[in-house]
Structure 1
Amino acid sequence: MENVGYPHAIRRDSEVCNRFHNLKDEQQRIQIKTFTNWINATLSKNNNDQRKVTDLMSDIKDGVILLNILETLTNSKLAKEMPKSTRRPLQINNVSTALNYLRRRGMKLVNINCTDIVDGKPSIVLGLVWKIILHLQIQNTLSRRLRRTNSQDIGKLLTRSTSLEAKDFGQSWRSGELFNKLINRIKPGAIVEQRIQPENVRENLQNAFKIAERDLDIPQLLDPDDVDVDKPDEVSIITYVGEFIKKYPDEVDGCLKV
């Protein structure tokens, strides 16, 4: 596993926003769906605000959802306005509070500004949510296992922590076999691996997502239809795999080949 093909999404922080500018419509649709599922799953566990995201670009613009996410992930309390959707100055204040908080934590926010978030600009919103997932969820979980917490190291550990022959975070996961094997690494015997056949892609994926949610309390962020495609979205798959590593860090430690 020395020549792992790390996804561009986690190579260099400075490239994050530029990458999201070039998304194709279908890839963007899948990421919006995955990030919406991730936000709702994250907030449902620790936040008393029952508000859910149904339209990511619209719902995030007032900054309240964004601040709730940061509070949940960091156990912090952040000042927020509760603006009506038409009160742009208050929306900008909330988003500014969120971005300044991230900067204080050392996050580089290249080409991300308040007005683009308030305007619901897809490339900027997706880039920001991805950086939050990468740095506040995945990196925080893995930091004690890494000498350095740069993107390449995170990519290596995300791949190797499964003890699976994953060459990337795209095609390697399409058949569903790796998802099922990952579940068995965490909970041996949860899945009868002999029943996992390469030709039964949709069944493999449905089985993995169902059992992960039922037995491991891993929210179903992905749909089989979105993974069984010519070019599965790497960012979405990393986001989902990161849920396993966040929830089961000790089990993951036992699988490391580092």
Structure 2
Amino acid sequence: MSGYVGVLVSDPWLQSQFTQVELRNIKSKFVSTKTRSGRVTVEDLPPVLAKLKDFNGTFDAKAIKTILDESYPNRDEEIEFETFLKAFLSVQSRGTKGASSFLKTRSTTFHHAINESEKAFYVSHINNYLREEDPLLKSYIPINPAMDALFDLVKDGVLLCKLINVAVPGTIDERAINTKKDLNPWERTENLSLCLNSAKAIGCTVVNIGTQDIAEGRPHLVLGLIFQIIKIQLLAGLNLKKTPQLVELVEENQDVDELMGLAPEKLLLKWMNFHLKKAGYEKQVSNFSSDVKDGEAYAYLLNALSPELSTHETLEIKDPSERAKKVLEQAEKLDCKRYLSPQDIVEGSANLNLAFVAQLFQHRNGFTDESSKMPISSSEIITEEDEEACREERCFRLWINSLGGVTYVDNVFEDVRNGWILLQVLDKVSPGSVNWKPANKPPIKMPFKKVENCNQVIKIGKDLRFSLVNVAGNDIVQGNKKLLLAFLWQLMRYTMLQILNNLESHWQGKEITEADILNWANRKVKKMGRTSQAVSFKDKNLSNGFFFLELLSAVEPRVVDWSLVTKGETEEEKILNATYIISVARKLGCSIFLLPEDIRGKPENDAYIGG
């Protein structure tokens, strides 16, 4: 379970040197070593530390042994976890290549400066979108942007859960949030686990954030998470389902799939440049920082989007600060809230400028009604041809992005076709399986180089005993959706089984099978005196949700409020139960990327999408 219980260290300074995610990763290595040998000694440290990603390629076991010999001459000395951490820092401080950016030594402490303008924007956004009349938010809203109250208000997770539901409505079943006045530490941790796992599920990157980090109100981590949530909300309209007029951005010799495979930020830039070109602006805007600092691009854009307010006065202003001021005044006439200042534009604040352009898109996208009728058949293909494939693509995309250290994926069907990302994922879930020497790193111009990467992907898949009969690397390069989804399903399944296999204390070294998981779940439910039993993961009776709820209750009896559970007889009742199941599981620390429809309609997926 990720994020359920914080890893605590008695030495406050030592605790401060790591995020909770790092502590959990390192402790898992320590526990694994101790489980195998019964004890951990100084002699065990070099090979264990050498395998950690922080030192991979920086220090080999021999180099680490040399470093540790200076401080720990007795190689048979048994060590505890805190000594293990000190040894880790001792090695980390001797090199910079590959060292984690979050790790600090006593002589080198990183201070994360807080951008007050960004903080003020986030607070204003929260005050505007979260309602004071909401019974759960009476003691939270409004927040004073001039103070640091935000960092205290997020510590119980309620505010962040609410913000996630504003960004992507329905992500969290609010019935699962612990909302009583005085929450105990376990209940606060559950809320924060629900928050972080739900943030993952909507596309946030939370690899370096743990529940303890938010509970401690670490400003840079809190603000980083909040911005990701707000960005997802602001960019939500950049898809053909909500804005079919985007087909107007399709260039000659480009298809709709290629356009919609762009990251939302890149699509927003493409939209901006589309209107700038029409307005006669000769430069290309490639970022939300240096390219917009002088305010000139904004002046042209606003003239294109709002001809009725068009004026050359803004363009004639020479002073960038004065021009930025005029730009914001014109934007306010379009009902865009002033979340940034002229100084933020001039200084090139990337986050605030992105938010500003996203607001312009939301209020005035500049497309005509006719543009939505252009190649509308293409957009219909994207949104209607295969909803199940789209849901599966979303699940695998979010899962890959949650792994950390893997190139960010915006569209699975497009982004994995050169094989590079799949090799990264395979190396993540099965360390050492990838031979990087012959691998071809993007950008890859020659098609046969992509095939080489994908051939290695298929070879590794076969080595891991995936079912890949008559599947070749070229199938991935060609973007065969059915085969890609089948491969990724097996890859996720393998990862989940490996996680379980690593729980040696529970399984005693036995290779875990699906039958073992099913038997464990049935025994767990039966032991609690419940009657539900699962015949298989394809059992249609699972669709009402009772078995999953009883299993969750068996893991933690107080986590399920049975007064909120429906009979599961109608489709609506099944969806309500499924929504509640997902939130309760995330509350317990599970990383789940499926939707309620997947539980209701295809229960066999559920064995592999949680952790």
- Normalising by the smaller structure, the TM-score range is 0.7 to 0.9
Match of 1:137 among 211, 215, 234: 234
Alignment partner of 1:36: what SS? helix
| Correspondence 1:29 to 2:123 | no
Q: Distance in 1 between matches of 2:259 and 2:213?
A: 28
Q: Distance in 1 between matches of 2:113 and 2:292?
A: 21
Counterpart residue type for residue 294 of structure 2? S
> For the Cα contact (< 8 Å) 1:30–1:233, is it kept in 2?
no
Residue 149 of structure 1: CA displacement?
9.1
Residue 107 of structure 1: CA displacement?
4.4
| Correspondence 1:111 to 2:242 | no
Q: Distance in 2 between matches of 1:136 and 1:187?
A: 24
| Correspondence 1:247 to 2:363 | yes
What is aligned with 1:10? none
What is aligned with 1:58? 152
What is aligned with 2:340? 222
What is aligned with 2:271? 161
Match of 1:78 among 174, 178, 191: 174
Match of 1:92 among 177, 189, 208: 189
> For the Cα contact (< 8 Å) 1:30–1:226, is it kept in 2?
yes
Residue 199 of structure 1: CA displacement?
1.9
TM-score normalized by structure 2? 0.34
Alignment partner of 2:318: what SS? coil
> For the Cα contact (< 8 Å) 1:83–1:90, is it kept in 2?
no
Alignment partner of 2:337: what SS? coil
Q: Distance in 1 between matches of 2:134 and 2:300?
A: 32
Residue 234 of structure 1: CA displacement?
0.8
Q: What percent identity do the matched residue pairs reach?
A: 22
Residues 164-173 or 36-45, more deviating: 36-45
Q: Distance in 2 between matches of 1:121 and 1:252?
A: 45
Counterpart residue type for residue 359 of structure 2? E
Residues 125-134 or 194-203, more deviating: 194-203
Aligned length, in residue pairs: 232
What is aligned with 1:205? 324
Match of 1:42 among 119, 122, 129: 129
> For the Cα contact (< 8 Å) 1:74–1:136, is it kept in 2?
yes
Residue 189 of structure 1: CA displacement?
2.9
Residue 238 of structure 1: CA displacement?
0.8
Residue 101 of structure 1: CA displacement?
2.1
Q: Distance in 2 between matches of 1:85 and 1:198?
A: 56
TM-score normalized by structure 1? 0.72
Q: Distance in 2 between matches of 1:24 and 1:206?
A: 29
